């Protein structure tokens, strides 16, 4: 991780590209298109995690899945139009993230 500015810039660029794509899909297809894109991205993410686990990096795949699980729950809540699931996904993300960060920091020492 020598190039932290590059990583931050890449993350920032990803956020802006995601915002632009979200706006374009909602203009042309409405909110249902936005949900379809979010569902597609979550499905692609699950496939990537499964491929990482298949390659032999099971602990990394497990950590990636645990971090993304609250977001998947939020997307399911948005698809079902269930506010409680969306709020539960957001709250569980803020609970899971510090735990995973603390675990990774202790593992790197």
- pLDDT at 74 > cutoff 80: yes
SS (H, E, C) the chain: CCCHHHHHHHHHHHHHHHHHHHHHHHHHHCHHHHHHHHHHHHHHHHHHHHHHHHCCCHHHHHHHHHHHHHHHHHHHHHHCCCHHHHHHHHHHHHHHHHHHHHHHHHHHC
pLDDT band at 6 (very low <50, low <70, confident <90, very high): low
Every domain of the chain and the residues it spans: 30-108
Six token digits for residue 28: 């042309």
Neighbours of 32 (CB within 10 A): 11
| pLDDT tens sequence across 86-97 | 888 889 988 988
Distance CA 37, CA 18 (A): 10
pLDDT per position as a tens digit, 24-33: 877 877 767 7
Alpha-carbon radius of gyration of the chain? 16
Average pLDDT on 30-59 reads: 81
* Statement: the pTM of the whole predicted model exceeds 0.75: no
- Tell me what percent of the residues of the chain surpass a pLDDT of 70: 91
């Amino acid at each position: 991780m020598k190039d932290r500015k590059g990583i931050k810039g890449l993350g920032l660029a990803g956020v802006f590209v995601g915002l632009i794509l979200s706006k374009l899909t909602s203009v042309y297809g409405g909110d249902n298109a936005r949900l379809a894109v979010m569902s597609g991205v979550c499905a692609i993410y699950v496939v990537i995690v499964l491929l990482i686990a298949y390659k032999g990096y099971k602990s990394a795949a497990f950590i990636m899945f645990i971090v993304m699980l609250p977001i998947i729950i939020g997307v399911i809540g948005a698809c079902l139009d269930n506010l409680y699931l969306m709020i539960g996904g957001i709250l569980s993300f803020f609970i899971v993230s510090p735990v995973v960060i603390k675990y990774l920091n202790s593992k790197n020492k």
